[in-house]
Amino acid sequence: MSLRLKTIIAWLIAFVLMSLLAIYQRTTGPTYPKRGSVEVGGSTVNFSMPRSFGGPGDADIRIEIPDKSIKGQLVYRRYKSYDDWSTQEMKLEGNELVAYLPHLPPAGKMIFEVFLEKGADKQKITAEPVILRFKGSVPDFVLIPHILLMFTAMVFSLRAAISGIYKWESTFTFTKFTLIFFAMGGLIFGPIMQLYAFGYLWTGWPVADGSFNLIKFGDLTDNKTLIGIVTWLIAYIQIRRNRNAKYWAIAAAVVLIGVYLIPHSALGSEIDFRELKNMP
């Protein structure tokens, strides 16, 4: 097999693995919508419950119904609070039942359930309550570069690992570009995105609590970014010192895969309303 064909195959493998990781990240995190279906009065109702809401205003909860005689109730309260449950009748707008969760400050969460009924048949649409986190609006000129850089870094990470396995001279080049792309996406655009979303540039280790009692040392997204950066920085330094130490690129790529396998926004910033007696 020619070196050119090996190179093409290496890039294809890197892109396929990156795509699988991107799909996994997209579908496993705590902000991915809760989807499913439920039978109510002989009709099948498909639903998609949001678990993240950005920007001003109240968070709208919408359910498309095939039968306009179906009614709905939204039951909710602030997550991690001593609040009583509130109930809101859902209103019919076209073919949708709609209700609104009251707006909360960034990192505030609402826990809610939706009940649908037709005649004597009343169903809770999800087995467990859904938790929705509020955040500020993140502009596309920050969000898009962040996403592109993070997954470009993964492609180059996998490409560096493949080069390391076959002991190709390109290993150091791909290691360098992995570090550059990951640092730009994770340490430049990542904190800017955090600032827009939650008002803080960094909420991982070793930052203390914020004014809204964000989890101390607890934002796993920032912490895993830090782990990835440190790992690839070590790999870059070691391979630069000794170009034969290509196993460092393999090890760093394995660590980064582990980092990307942690669902996005897991253990993210949140407000504990039980600790904030003066919050509205």
- What angle do the packed helices 140-165 and 247-261 form, to 10 degrees? 140
Q: What angle do CA 186, 142, 205 make, to 5 degrees?
A: 30
- In the chain the domains, ranked by start, together with CATH numbers, are 3-29+138-275 (no CATH), 34-135 (2.60.40.10)
Least Cα distance to 264 among 222, 202, 227, 210 occurs for 222
pLDDT reported for residue 208: 52
pTM over cut 0.75: yes
Give, for all 280 residues of the chain, the pLDDT tens digit. Answer: 777 888 899 999 999 999 998 888 878 878 889 999 999 988 999 999 999 999 889 999 999 999 999 999 999 999 999 999 999 999 999 999 999 999 999 889 999 999 999 988 999 999 999 999 999 999 999 999 999 999 999 999 999 999 999 999 999 999 999 999 999 999 999 999 989 998 888 877 776 555 444 444 456 778 888 999 999 999 999 999 999 999 999 999 999 999 888 877 666 778 888 877 654 4
Strand residues in the chain grouped as ranges (E): 34-40, 43-49, 52-54, 59-64, 71-78, 86-89, 91-93, 96-101, 109-118, 121-124, 130-135
Whether the CB-CB separation of 190 and 251 falls below 8 Å is answered with no
Whether the CB-CB separation of 186 and 232 falls below 8 Å is answered with no
Q: Which two tokens stand for residue 185?
A: 């996406």
pLDDT reported for residue 217: 46
Q: Which two tokens stand for residue 239?
A: 């391979």
